[in-house]
Amino acid sequence: MENFVFHNATKIIFGKGTEEKVGEETVRYSKKVLLHYGQGSIKRIGLYDRVVKSLKEAGVAFIELGGVQPNPRLELVERGIKICRKENIGFILAVGGGSVIDSAKAIAVGVPYDGHVWDFFEKKAEPQAALPVGVVLTIPAAGSESSASAVITNEVGPYKRGMYSLLLRPKFAIMNPEITFSLSPYQTACGIADMMAHVMERYFTPTKNVELTDRLCEATLRTIIHNAPIVLTEPKNYDARAEIMWASTIAHNDLLSTGRVGDWATHAIEHELSALYDIPHGAGLAILFPCWMRYVYKRDVKRFAQFAHRVWGVEVELRNLEETALKGIKRLKTFFRSIGLPTSLKEADIPDDRLEEMAEKATWAGPIGNFVKLKKEDVLQIYKMACG
Q: Which residues are near its own copies by CB under 8 A?
A: 1-18, 208-209, 211-212, 215-216, 218-220, 222-223, 226-227, 238-239, 242-243, 246-247, 250, 255, 258-259
Question: At its nearest, how many Å lie between its own copies and the CB of residue 336?
Answer: 21
Q: CA angle, 266 as apex, 276 and 197 as ends, to 5°? A: 110
Residue 298: how many other CB atoms lie within 10 Å:
11
Q: Which is nearer to its own copies, 260 or 327 (CB)?
A: 260
- What span, in angstroms and rounded, lies between the C-alpha atoms of 174 and 180? 13
Q: Which is nearer to its own copies, 102 or 243 (CB)?
A: 243
Radius of gyration of the chain (CA): 20
38 vs 140, beta carbon nearer its own copies: 140
* Closest CB to its own copies among residues 11, 123: 11
Q: CA 386, CA 273: separation in Å to the nearest integer? A: 11
Nearer to its own copies, 162 or 206 (CB): 206
| Contacting residues for 268 by C-beta, under 8 A, at least 6 apart | 362, 368, 369
Rounded (10°) CA dihedral 58, 59, 62, 68 = 0
Is residue 47 within 8 A of residue 83, CB to CB? The reply is: no
Sign of the torsion formed by the C-alpha atoms of 295, 222, 185 and 230: positive
Closest CA to 93 of 24, 181, 14: 24
SS3 59: coil
Instruction: Give min distance, CB of 6 to its own copies, in A.
Output: 4
For the bound state, the minimum distance from the C-beta of residue 264 to its own copies, rounded and expressed in Å, comes to: 21
Pick the closer one to its own copies by CB: 110 or 177. Answer: 177
Minimum Å distance from CB 118 to its own copies? 30
Nearer to its own copies, 101 or 251 (CB): 251
**Closest to 191 (Cα-Cα) out of 341, 337, 332:** 341
- Phi and psi angles of residue 34, each rounded to the nearest 5 degrees, phi first: -95, 120
In whole angstroms, the minimum distance from the beta carbon of 273 to its own copies comes to 30
Q: How far is the CB of 18 from its own copies (least distance, A)?
A: 7
Nearer to its own copies, 11 or 298 (CB): 11
Closest CA to 102 of 111, 87, 92: 92
Q: Shortest gap between Cβ of 114 and its own copies (angstroms)?
A: 26
Burial class of residue 366, CB neighbours in 10 A (0-12, 13-18, 19+): exposed
Specify the residue, 160 or 241, whose C-beta has the smaller distance to its own copies: 241
Contact (CB, 8 A) for 352 and 387: yes
- Taking the complex as a whole, the smallest distance from the CB of residue 142 to its own copies amounts, in Å, to 18
**Min dist. Cβ of residue 237 to its own copies (A):** 10
